[in-house]
A = this chain, B = another copy of it.
Amino acid sequence: MEDLYLVSLAASVIALIFVLIQSKKVLAFSEGNELMQKISKAIRTGAAAFLKRQYKTVSIFFLCLFVVLCVMAMFDLLTWYVPFAFISGGFFSGLSGYIGMSIATRANARTAAAAQEGLNRGLRIAFSAGTVMGFTVVGLGLLDISLWYGIMKLVFNESLETITSAIITFGMGASSMALFARVGGGIFTKGADVGADLVGKVEAGIPEDDPRNPATIADNVGDNVGDVAGMGADLYESYVGSIVSTCALGVLAFNKIPAVDRVYAVAIPLIIASIGVLFSIVGTFLVKTKENASQKYLLGALRRGTNFSAIAIAVISFFVVWLLLGIEFYGIWLAIIAGLFAGVMIGLCTEYFTSDTYKPTKKLAKSSETGSATIIINGIGLGMLSTILPVVIVGIAILVAYLCSTIGYAGNTELGLYGIALAAVGMLSTLGITLSTDAYGPVADNAGGIAQMANLPAEVRERTDALDSLGNTTAATGKGFAIGSAALTALALIANFVEKMDANGGEYVLSLMDPRVLVGILIGACLPFIFSALTMNAVGRAAQSVVVEVRRQFSKITGLMEGKSDADYAKCVDICSKASLKEMVIPTLLAIASPIVVGLVLGGSGVIGLLCGSLVSGFILAIFMANSGGAWDNAKKYIEAGNYGGKGSDQHKAAVVGDTVGDPFKDTAGPSINILIKLLSMVSIVFSGLFAKFSIF
């Protein structure tokens, strides 16, 4: 029964075949008229230019770290698997983003074209493009894990301990890549957005999305590289991180329970993820709607798919636990359910605080009546207040997962932490379909832009708008899963770090009354603040570079303003990505250097403190920033819909200020923090051998 990894290999192959089928389905549709094709091609070229530049920068980074890891391996500070695991994690994370973005940039015009024929057709294409992203992430994630598992087992005949502790380190590669993709993408999209507006709308006086503005395409590219490629790499990292940290804890927990073969504990997260893939695929077939259905009905169509998958996984996983571990471990099944449930609840909270169908955002929109200062104060207040429910929900999930999974085995801390880790796996088990419903949003968004630019009939725009606005709601749910699973996975990773310190013979304490732990917590809690400050300031500077380039093109390219010659979109995109990737260096170095420095000075105790501190403050800050930003965005849309003065009123101007402040909150800093807190743990795990041997205190 050592070959259970074959199940996950099979699931990954099925997922990737499904991706192929869906891609072909999308590509078979017409791209619409010539103008639509031209616009879509410009976006696609821009996206390719960005990825080219991004992978160049990232490769240098990966190469440097690869060398460092090899040197460490030479000195026996880690195994020789680690440098290669690191590279493979980064590669697959990047590949997930790349594939997802490739299809998204090909589906946008097709969705617009299909929406000409009806709502259901539009939904099917946009959603199919979303499924490509969703199942690429889970397929490649399981593929990477299964291949490593298989090769280490069959070729090198390694023990379970060695396998799981090597696999966990490719999380560091995945997280590093994800951080680049998310932060780079976030700076890109918001820099292009703000920059395009400043020169185009304010200086040149041309409308938004006007093809003469060289930064317009960069703006649309930004939506793809931020919301699609960035999110893909991000969730690849979350998905893989949750599984590998659970596998590693499973070995530790069941070391103390000789009655059960540890291989089953390692298999559980893989099997649950595999089942998740299969039922997610089934779920996608439930997503369809009548032509011209209401928005509520549309949401119902998407929800039907995700709910079916979630319930199916909840039921089947009971039997998985029963068959593999035995009925007395039913508490572990409860841990999985706690995770699934917590993810859904956090998503509902996000929706409540950020959707304009509920009181908080309506009240926020009203506060625009007394000017931009009050809408800013109230938006910050709203975001801060919205943190308590997710904190309580995750708190309850942690307690339930821990206590249930240790039923009958009180005192087996590792078993409790294994339960917490499994809660994250449970939360992400439906990722195939939840990510599909999430990634379809930007496709619909882009389709709307293309419909506008190509002067398609108003009803087409109405249909893409219906699809797009739905995307905002599903994105809120997606954020709940991303943030909640980040907290649980980070916790599991911290537990793995503690174990690594043990394995390396390092000394450390876990006590809150130890000064090194306390100082570590303080520094750790500070990191998400510093990180957010750096990325927000970077957005401002990136916008400046865009302004300079657009001004240059306006003055140098003859006939551009008359529409007689094309703008150099690729140049603008290149500058934008150059700026954003340059700005990425310091935040990423901060994430990698800080645990190493703290580890060398304060030892393992300081690092544990640092990881806990950053987990806690990062979790809260991420929710605060995401919800403030989301609420400002929707408050603006609510006013634009004709409330409190409507478009062009003073209230609207105040709301625009709120939305602009919220942009880097919700699209740059906020989502990157999820990755940051896991990357810190991953780096600590990889460098644990160093801290165990060398540290000042």
Contacts and interface: CB of A to CB of B under 8 A. Distances in A.
Interface of A: 198, 367, 370-374, 376-378, 380-385, 387-388, 391-392, 394-395, 398-399, 402-403, 413, 416-417, 420, 491, 494-495, 498, 510-519, 521-523, 525-526, 529-530, 532-534, 536-537, 539-540, 608-609, 612-613, 616-617, 619-620, 624, 656-657, 660-661, 664, 697
A512 B387 CA distance: 22
B399 A532 contact: no
Given A420-B515, A512-B512, A522-B619, 11 more contacts: A371-B657, A374-B540, A381-B533, A384-B530, A385-B530, A387-B530, A391-B526, A395-B519, A413-B513, A498-B513, A512-B609
Contacts of A656: 373
A419 to B, nearest CB: 9
A513 B415 CA distance: 12
A494 to B, nearest CB: 8
A268 to B, nearest CB: 20
A529 B661 contact: no
29 contacts: A372-B372, A372-B657, A373-B657, A373-B660, A374-B660, A376-B376, A377-B539, A380-B536, A381-B534, A381-B537, A384-B529, A385-B537, A387-B526, A388-B526, A391-B525, A392-B523, A399-B519, A399-B697, A403-B697, A413-B513, A494-B513, A495-B513, A512-B512, A512-B609, A512-B612, A521-B612, A522-B619, A525-B620, A529-B620
Contacts of A517: 512
Contacts of A519: 395, 398-399
Contacts of A383: 533
A377 B616 contact: no
Contacts of A403: 515, 697
Contacts of A525: 391, 525, 616-617, 620
Contacts of A510: 510-513
Shortest 10 CB-CB distances between A and B: which pairs?
A: A373-B660, A384-B533, A395-B519, A402-B515, A385-B533, A510-B511, A384-B529, A381-B533, A391-B526, A525-B616
A416 B661 CA distance: 44
B522 A391 contact: yes
A516 B384 contact: no
Q: Which of A413, A491, A512, A523 has the most CB of B within 10 A?
A: A512
A514 B398 CA distance: 10
A540 B379 CA distance: 12
Contacts of A512: 494, 510-512, 517, 608-609, 612
Contacts of A391: 522-523, 525-526
Given A370-B198, A403-B515, A516-B399, A537 B620 contact: no
Contacts of A387: 526, 529-530
A373 B616 contact: no
Nearest to A660: B373
A202 B581 CA distance: 46
Number of copies: 2
A532 B387 CA distance: 12
Q: Which of A398, A403, A511 has the most CB of B within 10 A?
A: A511
A515 B612 contact: no
A539 B519 CA distance: 34
Contacts of A617: 525, 616-617, 620
A417 to B, nearest CB: 7
Nearest to A392: B523
Given A385-B534, A530-B385, A661-B373, A523 B378 contact: no
A539 B370 CA distance: 14
A384 B532 contact: yes
Nearest to A616: B525
A403 B516 CA distance: 10
Nearest to A491: B518
A9 to B, nearest CB: 33
A521 B521 CA distance: 10
A609 B521 CA distance: 12
Contacts of A532: 381, 384
A376 B661 contact: yes
Nearest to A527: B388
Contacts of A398: 515, 518-519, 522
Contacts of A533: 380-385
Contacts of A402: 515
A616 B521 CA distance: 7
A378 B532 CA distance: 11
A184 to B, nearest CB: 18
A396 to B, nearest CB: 8
Contact of A416 (B413, B491, B515): B515
A154 B325 CA distance: 67
A491 B495 CA distance: 25
A652 to B, nearest CB: 14
Nearest to A373: B660
Contacts of A660: 373-374, 377
Contacts of A522: 391, 394-395, 398, 616, 619-620
Contacts of A609: 512
A630 to B, nearest CB: 16
Contacts of A495: 513
Contacts of A624: 529
A171 to B, nearest CB: 20
Contacts of A417: 513
Contacts of A539: 377
Q: Which of A513, A536, A660 has the most CB of B within 10 A?
A: A513
